[in-house]
Chains A and B, each alone.
Chain A
Amino acid sequence: MKTLGRWLAEHGIAVGSPIVTLCVWEWASATGVLREAFFPRPSTVLAHLVQLGADGTLWAHTAKSLIRIGWAFALSAVFGVGVGLAMGVWRRLRDGLDPVFAVIYPIPSVLFLPLVSFLVPPGEIALVVTTAVTSFFLVAFTTTHGVRQIDRLVVEAAVHYGARGPRLFAAVLLPGALPYIFTGLRLGLGFALIVVVAVEIVSASTGLGALLWLSWGILKVEDMYATFFVIALLGAVLSYGLAALRARLLPWVQDVGAR
C-alpha cells in the first residue's frame, strides 16, 4: 500500500493528466459543449475501437503500417548510423555533407514521394523509402554529433593504451557515440511513424493513415478517432520501448536527471 502511494506521488501527474483530459472531453461531448458529431465521446470511440479490432480491420491496417515503419526504420538506422559515423570520423566528409544535409533536411518528408517514385519502383518501395528520409537525417546528425562529443582526453588515453585504427573505432568511438545514436534512433522511429501516416494519407489504400483518411472522408468520425488513438499508442509504445532498450543495453550511461 505504501509503495503504491509513493508510486502515485511520483507518477501521479503523468497518469492523472490524460485521465482528467478524457473525463472533461466525455463531459463536454455529453452536455453539448462540444458538438458530438465532430467530437464523439471517448466512451463511444472506445466502443468503435473494440468493434474495429473485432472485425479485423484495425489489425490489418496496423500490421501494414508497422511493416512499413519497420523497413523504413531499418533503412534509416543502417544508413544513418553508417553515414553519421563516417562523418564523425572524417572531417572532410563532414564539411562536404553538412551543407547538403542542412538544405535537404527541413523539406517536409511527404514531398519526397514523387521524387523517390522516379528513383525507385513506385508503390510499396517508394512509400518505405520516403518514410525513411527524415529519419535518416536525424540518425545521421545525432550519430555524427555522438562521435564528435567524445571526451578528447578519453580518446587520448585509449590511444596511449594501444587502441589504434579499427580497434580505436570499435572500442572507443562507437561505444562513445552510442548514447547519441540511441537518441537519434528514438527520434527517427517517432518520425517514421509521423511520416508513414502522412504518406499513407497521400498515396495508399492500406495502413493507419489510409484508414484514418477514409474514415474522415465518409464521416465515420468515431473510427477516425479510434485510429488516432491507435497511432498515438503506437508512438508511445515504440518510443518508450526504445528508451527501455537503451537503459538495458547501455547501463553505463548516467542520466542527467538521476545525478
Chain B
Amino acid sequence: MPEPSPKVVVNEVTVTFESHGRSVTALEGISLQAQVGEFLCIVGPSGSGKSTLLRVLAGLVEPSGGQVRIAAERPGTPLTAMVFQEHALLPWRTVRDNVTFGLENRGVARAEREARAREMLAMVGLTRFARHYPHQLSGGMKQRVGIARALVTDPEVLLMDEPLAALDAQTRTIMQEELLRIWAALGKTVVYVTHSLEEALLLGDRIVLLTARPGRVSQVYPVDLGRPRGLEVRGSPAYGALLEKIWSQLREEVVRAMAEDRGGDA
C-alpha cells in the first residue's frame, strides 16, 4: 500500500517584511505538513507569525524563501478558503450574498451558487437569516457566515485565523462544538491558528508550537485524546498532562516574546 501523501507541505518557508525601513523576519525556515483530513492547530505567542503563515498558505503573502505545496485533488475548486479573524464580511451584502461571493467570482451559475449557499447556511444554522445584513447579526452568527463563505467554495484546505478569538467565552464554547461537528461531517483538511492551547487541544489532531519572533517550529505535539471529542475531554488526565507539557514550553516563548517587546521599546 502506498504511503498517504500529505495534503499540505510547507518547506523551509521564510517571510521578511519591510517595516519603517527595517527588515523584520516574521517566519524563519518553517517546515510542516498536514495530512489529508487532518485538523492541524498552530499555536504560538503574539507576533510569532501565525497569521502570516496562514496568509502564505492562502497565497495572500509571497514567501521570501521556501515553498508551499497543496495537493489538488479536485480540479475547479480553490486550493484554500480562509475564515478571517473578525469575520471580514462585506457589510453591503446580505448573508446569502456574502456566502455566494466566492462562487460568483469563480463564475458559478446563479442557480447552483444559491443552492450551495442554502445548503451551507443550513449546515451553520443560519437559514432564517439569509436576507439579513452582517450588522444585524451577533458576533457568533457573523463568524458562522464566515465559515459558510469558506466552506461553500469547497476548498482543498480550510484555513482558519483565530476565528473565535473575538467571541465571548460562552459563544466560543458553542462554536467549538459546532466546528467539530462540521469538520466531522465534511472531513476537510484544516489548518487552524489560535492562541488558546485549550482550544487547540479540543479541536486538533496535532499542535504545532511556534517560537516568538521570528517564528520557527518549536515542537509538534500529537493530540492523542481520541475522537469524537467533546468538552468533557477537558476533565481527562491525559488532557491535563498534555496541556501542562505544551504550556511549559509555550510559557517560555511567551515570556521571551514579552521580554523582546520591552527591549524593542527601549
Where the two chains meet, the residues of A that have a C-beta atom closer than 8 Å to any C-beta of B are: 151, 153-154, 156-163, 167, 171-172, 175-176, 178, 250-254
Contacts and interface: CB of A to CB of B under 8 A. Distances in A.
How big is the B interface, by class? 20 to 34
* Residue from the set B81, B86, B90 with the largest chain A CB neighbour count within 10 Å: B90
A162 B105 contact: yes
Interface string B128-169: 000001110000000000000100010000000000000000
A175 B88 contact: no
A250 B135 CA distance: 13
Given A153-B86, A254-B135, A163 B92 contact: no
Given A156-B60, A162-B106, A163-B105, A252 B88 contact: no
A160 B101 contact: no
A158 B88 CA distance: 9
21 contacts: A153-B85, A153-B86, A154-B88, A154-B90, A156-B88, A157-B88, A157-B90, A158-B101, A159-B60, A160-B82, A161-B101, A161-B105, A161-B153, A162-B102, A167-B105, A175-B90, A251-B133, A252-B91, A252-B135, A254-B91, A254-B135
Interface centre among B81, B92, B101 (most CB of A within 10 A): B92
Interface of B: 58-60, 78, 81-82, 84-86, 88-93, 101-102, 105-106, 133-135, 149, 153
Given A160-B82, A161-B105, A161-B153, A250 B92 contact: yes
B84 A157 contact: yes
B58 A178 contact: no
Contacts of A160: 58-60, 81-82
B101 A178 contact: no
Contact of B102 (A156, A161, A172, A178): A161
A7 B89 CA distance: 36
Q: Which 10 A-B pairs have the closest CB atoms?
A: A162-B105, A157-B88, A161-B102, A254-B135, A175-B92, A252-B133, A153-B88, A252-B92, A154-B88, A157-B84
A153 B84 contact: yes
A160 B150 CA distance: 10
Contacts of A251: 133
A161 B149 contact: yes
Contacts of A167: 105
A175 B58 CA distance: 25
Nearest to A175: B92
A159 to B, nearest CB: 7
B88 A151 contact: yes
A162 B107 CA distance: 10
Nearest to B101: A161
Contacts of A151: 88
A162 B108 CA distance: 12
B238 to A, nearest CB: 37
A171, A175, A251 pick with most chain B CB within 10 angstroms: A171
A145 to B, nearest CB: 17
A129 to B, nearest CB: 33
Contacts of B84: 153, 156-157
A175 B93 CA distance: 9
Contacts of B92: 175-176, 178, 250, 252
Nearest to A252: B133
A254 B137 CA distance: 12
Chain B CB within 10 Å — which of A151, A251, A252 has the most? A252
Nearest to A251: B133
A154 B81 CA distance: 14
Contacts of B82: 157, 160
A251 B136 CA distance: 11
Contacts of A253: 91
A143 to B, nearest CB: 16
Contacts of B81: 160-161
Nearest to A162: B105
